[in-house]
C-alpha cells in the first residue's frame, strides 16, 4: 500500500518527454566556469592561479570552514581567468574560468582511498573521502555530505531513508539513474550504512515510477534495503514529508531529522559517493534533465560541472521559439535565470525553458479566506495568517506561527485562487527575521 503525508498538491507532472529517455553524455564545453560558492556553506578560495594547467579531477578551490566542499576541475586545460561571474542565484561571485584542451587528461588517484576492501573502510575514512571529493546533496539542496554524515554519526541515528521520489514536474534525472545505475546507488547506500552503523534503510519512490521501483527492488532483494512505494504527490521529496510517509514519524517544529534518529540522502548522492570510493574521482559531473515547452528535443544528460547552460539547450536542438522563462531546477522550487551563460553547478538537476502561455501570471488579489493554503501546506503552517502579519511587519507573530519551518515548496502559491505570491512572502519574512535584532 502506498504511503503519504498530510497536505500537498498534485500538479501536472509533465515527465512524459524524458522519463523514457536514456541518459546521454554531453560533449564537453570549450570554456567552463567554476563559481567558488555553489553549495550551502562557506565559499571556497582558489588554490590555482591564472595560467596554471589543470587536470580532470584536480582540486582547484577549497575552504577551511567546517560546512564546505572543495571544487574540482571537470576537464583538463588551462586557467584563463579568476574573476567575478554571474551564477544561477543571480549573484556575481568569484569564479575560476578554465579553457578545455580536450585531452581529458585525468589526475591519477585524485582521491586517497585506503588500499583495502570497501567493507573495511572506517567511518572517518568514508567521511574524509566524501569531503575530499566535494560531494554535496545532489537533489537540489547541495548541503555538504561529509558534514551531514559527521553530525549523523555524532547523533547515532538508526534509520536511513533514501530519497528517490523526484516529485517536481518535468525532472527525471533521478528516475533514470535508478533504472540505469541502480548498483552504484545501492553501493553508496551500503557505504552510508557502514559509516553510520545503521541496520535499517528504506528507499522511498513514488508510485508513478513503476520501472524504478521494480529495478531497485531487483538489486536490493537480498540486501537490508527496503523499497517503499509512495503516493505520487508534491512535495513528497521534502525530508520531513518523506520521513512521515515512510516511517509515520513527525519531525517537530524547529528540529531536524537527526533529532528523531533519521538521516535522508538523495539517490544520486549515494551513487556519487560510491563512485568516489571505487574510481578515486571527485564530483565533476552530474545528471541534468533538459526539458520544457520551448525545447526542441528533451533529454537527460550527463553534464560536466561548469558547463554554460546555453550549451545544454544547443545540444538539445535549441528552442522552438525564444523562451519567455528559463528555470534551473523544477517549476515549483527552481530559480528563474535571465542569463544562459551561467554554469551548471553541483546542485543543478534540470534546466527548463517555457513560453509565455506557460507563465500564468495574475494580478495579486486579496485573500478570500478559503483556507486552501492551510489544507495543502505539508508543514502544517497557516500561510494566509503569516502573510497578513508579514504585511504589517509583525515579525514576532510570524515566528510564533513557525514561519521558519516553511520549506518554500510553493504549494500555497500554487493552490491560491487569488494568486497571492505567498512563497516570496515567506522568503522575505524569514530573511527579515534573520536580519532583525529584536526577534
Query: What pLDDT was estimated at residue 1?
Result: 40
The residues with which 3 forms a beta bridge, in sequence order, are: 230
- pLDDT tens for each residue of 190-199: 999 999 999 9
Distances (CA, A) of 373 to 378, 415, 420: 10, 6, 10
Domain boundaries, the chain: 118-279, 372-435
Q: What angle do CA 269, 272, 273 make, to 5 degrees?
A: 90
Residues 6+ apart with CB under 8 A from 30: 99, 100
Distance of CA 48 to the CA centre of its chain: 27
Assigned C-alpha cell, 121:
573502510
CB atoms within 10 A of CB 9: 18
Inter-residue contact 212 to 179 (CB < 8 Å): yes
- The string of DSSP letters for 49-101 reads -TT-EE-BT-EEEE--SSS---EE-SS-EEEEEEEEEE-TTS-EEEEEEEEE-
Assigned C-alpha cell, 387:
502573510
Assigned C-alpha cell, 422:
505567498
Query: What pLDDT was estimated at residue 254?
Result: 84
pTM reported for the whole predicted model: 0.93
CATH 2.40.50.100 fits 118-279, yes or no: no
Query: What pLDDT was estimated at residue 151?
Result: 96
Single out the residue of 239, 273, 249 nearest to residue 163, CA to CA: 239
Tracing cell 520521513 back to the chain, one arrives at 243
Single out the residue of 13, 1, 7, 3 nearest to residue 407, CA to CA: 7
> 387: helix, coil or strand?
helix
The ranges of the chain with pLDDT < 70 are: 1-2, 39, 358-364, 437-439
The residues with which 304 forms a beta bridge, in sequence order, are: 285
Assigned C-alpha cell, 181:
545505475
The residues with which 94 forms a beta bridge, in sequence order, are: 84
Query: What pLDDT was estimated at residue 360?
Result: 61
Inter-residue contact 313 to 322 (CB < 8 Å): no
Query: What pLDDT was estimated at residue 28?
Result: 93
Query: What pLDDT was estimated at residue 356?
Result: 79
C-alpha to C-alpha distance for 186 and 118, rounded to whole angstroms? 13
Residues 6+ apart with CB under 8 A from 278: 118, 187
- pLDDT tens for each residue of 29-66: 999 999 998 767 778 999 999 999 999 999 999 999 99
Helices (H), 361-421: 372-376, 383-391, 395-400, 411-415
C-alpha to C-alpha distance for 185 and 267, rounded to whole angstroms? 6
What dihedral angle (degrees, nearest 10) is formed by the CA atoms of 370, 375, 381, 383? Answer: -30
C-alpha to C-alpha distance for 270 and 150, rounded to whole angstroms? 16
Name the percent of the chain in helix, strand, coil, to the closest 5: 30, 20, 45
- pLDDT tens for each residue of 288-331: 999 999 999 999 999 999 999 999 999 999 999 999 999 999 99
Assigned C-alpha cell, 80:
584563463
C-alpha to C-alpha distance for 390 and 379, rounded to whole angstroms? 18
* Pairing assessment for the beta strands 159-163 and 200-206 based on DSSP bridges: parallel
> 200: helix, coil or strand?
strand
Residues 6+ apart with CB under 8 A from 307: 26, 28, 29, 32, 74, 343, 344
C-alpha to C-alpha distance for 202 and 349, rounded to whole angstroms? 23
* Pairing assessment for the beta strands 71-72 and 59-62 based on DSSP bridges: antiparallel
Amino acid at each position: 500500500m502506498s504511503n503519504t503525508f498530510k497536505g500537498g498538491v498534485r500538479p501536472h507532472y509533465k515527465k512524459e518527454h524524458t522519463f523514457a529517455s536514456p541518459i546521454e553524455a554531453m560533449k564537453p564545453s570549450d570554456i567552463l566556469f567554476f563559481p567558488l560558492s555553489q553549495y550551502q556553506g562557506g565559499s571556497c578560495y582558489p588554490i590555482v592561479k591564472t595560467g596554471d594547467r589543470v587536470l580532470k579531477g584536480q582540486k582547484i578551490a577549497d575552504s577551511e570552514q567546517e560546512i564546505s566542499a572543495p571544487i574540482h576541475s571537470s576537464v583538463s586545460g588551462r586557467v584563463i581567468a579568476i574573476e567575478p561571474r554571474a551564477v544561477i542565484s543571480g549573484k556575481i561571485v568569484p569564479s575560476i574560468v578554465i579553457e578545455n584542451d580536450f585531452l581529458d587528461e585525468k589526475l591519477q588517484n585524485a582521491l586517497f582511498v585506503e588500499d583495502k576492501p570497501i567493507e573495511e573502510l572506517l567511518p572517518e575514512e568514508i567521511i574524509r573521502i566524501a569531503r575530499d571529493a566535494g560531494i554535496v546533496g545532489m537533489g537540489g539542496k547541495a548541503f555538504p555530505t561529509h558534514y551531514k554524515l559527521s553530525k549523523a554519526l555524532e547523533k547515532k541515528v538508526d534509520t536511513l531513508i533514501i530519497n528517490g521520489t523526484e516529485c517536481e514536474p518535468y525532472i527525471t534525472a533521478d528516475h533514470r539513474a535508478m533504472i540505469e545505475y541502480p548498483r552504484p546507488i545501492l553501493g553508496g547506500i551500503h557505504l552510508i550504512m557502514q559509516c553510520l552503523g545503521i541496520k535499517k534503510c528504506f528507499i522511498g519512490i513514488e508510485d508513478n515510477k513503476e520501472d524504478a521501483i521494480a529495478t531497485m527492488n531487483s538489486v536490493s532483494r537480498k540486501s537490508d534495503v527496503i523499497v517503499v512505494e509512495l503516493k505520487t504527490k508534491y512535495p513528497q521529496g521534502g525530508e520531513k514529508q518523506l520521513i512521515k510517509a515512510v516511517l509515520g514519524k513527525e519531525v517537530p517544529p524547529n528540529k531536524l531529522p537527526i533529532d528523531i534518529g533519521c538521516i535522508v540522502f538523495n539517490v544520486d548522492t549515494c551513487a556519487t559517493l560510491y563512485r568516489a570510493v571505487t574510481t578515486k574521482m571527485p564530483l565533476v559531473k552530474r545528471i541534468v534533465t533538459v526539458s520544457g515547452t520551448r525545447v526542441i528535443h528533451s533529454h537527460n544528460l550527463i553534464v560536466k560541472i561548469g558547463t554554460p547552460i546555453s550549451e545544454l539547450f544547443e545540444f538539445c536542438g535549441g528552442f522552438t521559439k525564444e523562451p519567455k522563462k528559463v528555470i534551473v531546477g523544477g517549476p515549483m522550487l527552481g530559480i528563474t535565470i535571465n542569463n544562459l551563460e551561467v554554469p551548471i553547478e553541483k546542485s543543478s538537476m534540470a534546466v527548463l525553458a517555457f513560453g509565455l502561455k506557460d507563465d500564468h501570471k495574475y494580478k495579486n488579489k486579496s485573500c478570500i479566506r478559503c483556507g486552501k493554503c492551510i489544507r495543502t501546506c505539508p508543514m502544517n503552517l497557516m500561510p494566509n495568517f503569516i502573510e497578513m502579519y508579514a504585511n504589517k511587519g509583525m515579525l514576532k507573530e510570524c515566528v510564533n506561527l513557525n514561519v521558519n519551518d516553511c520549506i518554500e515548496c510553493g504549494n500555497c502559491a500554487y493552490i491560491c485562487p487569488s494568486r497571492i505570491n505567498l512563497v516570496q512572502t515567506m522568503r522575505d519574512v524569514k530573511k527579515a527575521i534573520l536580519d532583525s535584532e529584536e526577534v
